[in-house]
Structure 1
């Protein structure tokens, strides 16, 4: 689960001096019952995070559908019982978290299923194109995907801007000398650089913005030189839900897509007060 102290920052941002509307119109000791409902079908996520937020403010939570389950429109996800002001204080933050996480998880699940139908060994991964890493990375996992790097501290990924400053082979040599525990990945855009990276000992080669035909040429060249088994091949750039199956048919290991997190389509969930206990 995403750490509670991270989630509470959103409450603090949303109500820095309290929820003045609820405090103005709802008596302090008013109790209420409420439900969180899915307004569309898909993969639900963020349930544990919403539960933790409500419980932190003293609201009793009954979980009806769990993270990773597929739900239909109209299904009850959570039942709530507690102080009315507390329920309304948490409402929007909890729905925002669930909506974003469920949107990501739903999209990831669909792509994973599409890819596995073509090539079961290929993994679908997100990227670092997000400012909400704890939330987005967990949503990717719930959807069945890989998170890729969580941060710049996790693994070594040598990109084009690094290679503008340091030659490819030297960059790999320095990276491997830096730590025996860090995976060394190199982003390349040409067949020549892919071969250089493999010969220099890269653990993962990311083929960036290459068309399927170009990727096939790289894979064939690596096999001819006996290098294919030594590296993982990741492909990224220009991949969409419409063409991902075409890329999945190739002999690659990972397909990564930044749009999973930078172009999230929010999942529709709502909270309804249904009366008093």
Structure 2
């Protein structure tokens, strides 16, 4: 059975670059008609600098930050010292930059914004991954991402040791409670699944269940890969794991926190999806130092 997709840790998937470029957007909104401060108050000399962590964290978006400097000035020499996915201690360098000091300072804030935001996602993800260590549960992200930054944030989840759920509405079927409110008969659901798979062979199908009775009903359907256990108590999840007996994979979701996730993982579910990875991650503190 196919696993959840995992995008590259690089700046953006190639397909995404043709329609959306968050680096270009970020630079345009920050630089506008030009960096007036650097133009009038910074000389033309060349300098070296480094970006370093100011707190323990997991790096993500390092390649994106490097690309920001390249976009501002292709003549800058940039060295990635610690790539995305690296665990960082205070003071450890992630990027080294050399060249025009004006260019370095012009790119600084946008590069740091990406690095701090994405490393925050990776760092929080790693906390959740570590919390379920020793169990079979794998940590998934959700579509609760910053508009326009989904590819980067989902790559940051992977950098933190998590896995990606569906990227969008187009690469996986997920029938949730609002969909089921419009169609509840099993025979109609089964026909819809058959039609969907006939037109999209290999597509992953997931159904959301609010009760154990719904789980039992969904087990009678053919073509279902995953059943989402929505807002269930750990005892209910454990019971679902017992009678499902591996016939489909089970995903737990709803109100998951660092305090509750170990108990959820102990039930034996295959996946735990956590919206907080991307919607509530705190930015990690990085700084640029000229030498």
Alignment of 1:16-95 (within 5 A): 16-27=32-43, 29-56=44-71, 57-58=73-74, 59-95=76-112
Cα-to-partner distance string for 1:123-174 (whole Å, 9 max, x where unaligned): 1111000122111100001111111011111100001111111125223430
Cα 1:16–1:231 shift into 2, 3 Å? same
Equivalent residues, number: 266
The separation in 2 between residues aligned to 1:99 and 1:6, in whole angstroms, is 15
**What is the alpha-carbon distance in structure 2 between the residues aligned to residue 211 and residue 41 of structure 1?**
33
Give 1:220's aligned residue: 242
Report the CA distance shift for 1:153/1:215 in structure 2 as closer, same or farther (over 3 A). Answer: same
229-238 vs 2-11, which moves further = 2-11
What is residue 189 of structure 1 aligned with on the other side?
210
Residue 204 of structure 1 is aligned with which of 226, 233, 256? Answer: 226
Answer whether contact 1:54 1:60 (CA < 8 A) is retained: no
1:92-136 Cα deviation digits (max 9, x unpaired): 11111111111111111222122123x1x2111110001221111
From 73, 84, 99, the equivalent of 2:116 is 99
TM-score by length of 2: 0.87
User: How far apart in 2 are the matches of 1:51 and 1:188?
Assistant: 43
Q: Which has the higher helix share?
A: 1
Residues 142 and 176 of structure 1, relative CA distance in 2, 3 Å threshold: farther
Counterparts of 1:111 and 1:168, CA distance in 2: 37
Q: Which residue of 2 aligns with 1:225?
A: none
CA positional deviation for 1:16 = 2.1
In the TM superposition, residue 270 of structure 1 has moved relative to its aligned partner by: 0.8
Note the residue ranges of structure 1 that are not aligned, 5 or more in a row: 223-227
Is the CA contact (8 Å cut-off) linking 2:50 and 2:94 kept in structure 1?
A: yes
Runs of 4+ in 1 over 3 A off after TM superposition: none
Contact 1:108 1:143 (C-alpha < 8 Å) held by counterparts:
yes
2:168 pairs with 151, 169, 183, which one? 151
Who is 1:243 aligned against?
A: 260
Map 1:129-168 to 2 at 5 A. 129-130=144-145, 131=147, 132-167=149-184
1:13 aligned onto 2:29: yes
- Quick check: 1:158–1:171 contact (8 Å CA) kept in 2? no
Whether contact under 8 Å (2:82, 2:94) holds in the other structure is yes
Aligned partner of residue 199 in structure 1, secondary structure: coil
What is the root-mean-square deviation of aligned Cα atoms in Å? 1.6
Unpaired stretches in structure 2, ≥5 consecutive residues = 1-9
**Partner of residue 269, structure 1:** 286
